């Protein structure tokens, strides 16, 4: 790919994001600047607060972190008690090894080899409802079992109304009634969440982008600094009138006794900071402008890739970057515009992740982590949520819907 083409591809993703970021003003830029510094390092000439032109120049000039082909580890094998890793022909072709310039098709084994050898150390992950359903949390649009199919009791004009800002402003009771019902249930992370936690523990996770608001990524132990909760979360709340912020836990004393939570200052309704139809995405979502051009591997788990603008991020990595889809169905650009470095593992998402873990040689390590975290749940004192861990974000529920930028009529 030519330098001009690469700049154009990055501009496609940077320009809309930068335009959307302008309303946050200097404070918003300072926040983004801090995040960019964390990723690129103190010495990098990153964006200056309030200067969109400099941000664009800086971002379009970002070079992807070199894979370990440039490191001795791939030239001499893994030492220090571990067996040398012999790359398959297809994995080696990513780095131009083996003397064959023809692009080889990649397989799950190749992805495992690249991760195992730390050949890709800035892994970006995108996840959706499919990683939370194994925890017993219903998705949104599945026939019969999805939440949309079970909202008749709330006397709504149509199911989506319960998450529309205009309807909520007129009648917030249905939403808080549903929130109470889901709040009283107890959900725990599953093997997929802990696999992602293991990626973080090994220093391989650049960022995890989630459409879910259940907080299970946080509960699994992934720090907030590594998360972009694209559709918000229950971890915080905001008065709909005076915009005063509140900790998310503050609303539940009212919600559990069927009262609408209200601001003690202006009496406005206090709404959890989850994205309704008609609302913009959280400011932190703009981290994709930095993360995706820097990623050297993209994992996509349990999502239909139909809800925008989240879905389009799947094409924001460079064309040379391996993309792995573990999903029930073939979706998005993997179906209609696949790349030569794409790997697809279709079927049950848990089984797909377990297969990858097996190929990585992490099975025992993952089992130990799950047992360790399960023991924490069993020994923690009872709090506002049954079995809630100290780092729990507030409520263990999962609601997945289209964000305010683009409302999709397709199934998710």
Q: What is the pLDDT of residues 54-105, one digit of tens each?
A: 333 233 333 333 333 332 222 333 233 333 444 555 555 554 444 444 457 8
Q: Are 296 and 65 in contact (CB under 8 A)?
A: yes
Q: State the CB neighbour count (10 A cutoff) for residue 13.
A: 21
The reply to whether 314 and 171 lie within a common domain is no
Which two three-digit tokens encode residue 396? 């263990």
Within a domain: 372: yes
The reply to whether 212 and 199 lie within a common domain is yes
Rounded to whole angstroms, the Cα distance separating 57 from 24 reads 20
According to the model, what pLDDT value does residue 14 have?
Answer: 46
Task: State phi, psi for 60 to the nearest 5 degrees.
Answer: -70, -15
The reply to whether 226 and 366 lie within a common domain is yes
Within a domain: 40: no
Helix (H, G, I), strand (E, B) or coil at 247: strand
Within a domain: 100: no
CATH number for the domain spanning 325: value is: 3.40.50.1220
Which residue from 327, 377, 26, 61 is spatially nearest to 194, judged by alpha carbons?
377
Q: How confident is the model at residue 397 (pLDDT cuts 50, 70, 90)?
A: very low
The reply to whether 245 and 221 lie within a common domain is no
Q: What is the pLDDT of residues 264-290, one digit of tens each?
A: 999 999 999 999 987 889 999 999 999
The reply to whether 237 and 344 lie within a common domain is no
Q: How confident is the model at residue 396 (pLDDT cuts 50, 70, 90)?
A: very low
Q: What is the pLDDT of residues 221-266, one digit of tens each?
A: 999 999 999 999 888 999 999 999 999 889 999 999 999 999 999 9
Determine whether the annotation assigns residue 242 to a binding site.
yes
At residue 402, does pLDDT exceed 50?
no
Q: Are 128 and 302 in contact (CB under 8 A)?
A: yes
Within a domain: 265: yes
Which two three-digit tokens encode residue 97? 């090894």
* Cis upstream peptide for 309 (omega within 30°): yes
Which residue from 217, 175, 128 is spatially nearest to 412, judged by alpha carbons?
128
Within a domain: 402: no
Angle at the Cα of 191 from the Cα atoms of 189 and 197, rounded to 5 degrees:
75
Within a domain: 405: no
**Contacts with 144 (C-beta within 8 Å, 6 or more apart), sequence order:** none
Which two three-digit tokens encode residue 220? 């699994």
Q: Which position has the token pair 């330098």?
A: 3
The reply to whether 334 and 357 lie within a common domain is yes
Q: Which residue has the higher pLDDT, 324 or 21?
A: 324
The reply to whether 169 and 120 lie within a common domain is no
Residue among 193, 200, 231, 398 flagged as catalytic: 231
Determine whether the annotation assigns residue 67 to a binding site.
no
Q: Which residue has the higher pLDDT, 157 or 79?
A: 157
Q: Which residue has the higher pLDDT, 373 or 39?
A: 373
For the chain, the average pLDDT equals 74
Active site residue 231: yes
The reply to whether 225 and 158 lie within a common domain is no
The reply to whether 155 and 258 lie within a common domain is yes
HEC secondary structure over 333-374: HHHHCCCCCEEEEECCHHHHHHHHHHHHCCHHHHHHHHHHHH
The reply to whether 302 and 355 lie within a common domain is yes
According to the model, what pLDDT value does residue 279 have?
Answer: 86
The reply to whether 221 and 292 lie within a common domain is yes
Q: What is the pLDDT of residues 332-382, one digit of tens each?
A: 999 999 999 999 999 999 999 999 999 999 999 999 999 999 888 665 534
Q: What is the pLDDT of residues 291-319, one digit of tens each?
A: 999 999 999 999 999 888 999 999 999 99
The reply to whether 247 and 367 lie within a common domain is no
The H-or-E segment that residue 24 falls in is: none
For strands 123-127 and 205-210, give the pairing: parallel
CATH number for the domain spanning 260: value is: 3.30.1600.10
At residue 217, does pLDDT exceed 80?
yes
Q: What is the pLDDT of residues 350-363, one digit of tens each?
A: 999 999 999 999 99
Percent of the chain with pLDDT over 90: 48
250, 274, 298 — which closes off a domain?
Answer: 274
Domain residue limits at 219 = 105-136+189-231+283-380
**Domains of the chain: total:** 2
Taking the CA atoms of residue 268, residue 273, residue 274 and residue 278 in that order, the dihedral angle to the nearest 10 degrees is 60
Within a domain: 21: no
Determine whether the annotation assigns residue 263 to a binding site.
yes
Within a domain: 147: yes
Q: Which position has the token pair 């302008």?
A: 22
Helix (H, G, I), strand (E, B) or coil at 63: coil
């Amino acid at each position: 790919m030519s330098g001009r083409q690469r700049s154009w591809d990055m501009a496609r993703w940077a320009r809309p994001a930068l335009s959307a970021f302008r309303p946050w003003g200097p404070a918003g830029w300072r926040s983004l600047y801090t995040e960019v510094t964390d990723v690129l390092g103190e010495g990098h000439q990153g964006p200056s607060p309030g200067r969109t032109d400099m941000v664009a120049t800086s971002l379009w000039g970002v070079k992807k972190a070199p894979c370990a082909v440039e490191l001795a580890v791939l030239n001499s094998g893994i030492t220090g008690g571990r067996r040398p890793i012999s790359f398959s022909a297809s994995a080696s072709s990513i780095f131009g090894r083996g003397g064959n310039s023809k692009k080889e098709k990649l397989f799950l084994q190749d992805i495992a080899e690249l991760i195992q050898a730390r050949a890709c150390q800035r892994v970006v992950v995108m996840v959706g409802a499919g990683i939370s359903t194994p925890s017993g949390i219903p998705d949104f649009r599945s026939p019969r079992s999805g939440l949309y199919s079970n909202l008749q009791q709330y006397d709504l004009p149509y199911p989506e109304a319960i998450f529309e800002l205009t309807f909520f402003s007129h009648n917030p009771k249905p939403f808080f009634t549903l929130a109470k019902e889901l709040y009283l249930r107890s959900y725990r992370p599953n093997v997929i969440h802990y696999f992602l936690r293991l990626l973080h523990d090994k220093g391989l996770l650049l960022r995890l982008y989630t459409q879910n608001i259940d907080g299970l990524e946080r509960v699994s132990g992934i720090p907030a600094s590594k998360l972009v909760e694209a559709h918000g979360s229950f971890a915080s709340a905001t008065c709909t009138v005076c915009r005063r912020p509140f900790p998310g836990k503050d609303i539940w004393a009212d919600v559990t006794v069927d009262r609408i939570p209200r601001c003690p200052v202006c009496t406005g309704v206090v709404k959890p900071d989850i994205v309704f139809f008609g609302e913009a995405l959280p400011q932190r979502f703009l981290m994709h402008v930095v993360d995706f051009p820097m990623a050297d591997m993209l994992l996509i788990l349990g999502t239909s890739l139909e809800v925008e603008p989240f879905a389009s991020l799947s094409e924001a990595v460079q064309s040379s970057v391996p993309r792995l889809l573990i999903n029930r169905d073939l979706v998005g650009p993997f179906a209609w515009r696949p790349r030569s470095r794409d790997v697809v593992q279709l079927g049950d998402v848990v089984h797909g992740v377990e297969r990858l873990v097996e190929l990585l040689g992490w099975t025992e390590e993952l089992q130990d982590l799950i047992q360790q975290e399960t023991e924490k749940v069993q020994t923690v004192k009872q709090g506002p949520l049954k079995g809630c861990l100290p780092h729990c974000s507030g409520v263990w529920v999962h609601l997945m819907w289209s964000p305010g930028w683009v409302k999709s009529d397709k199934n998710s």
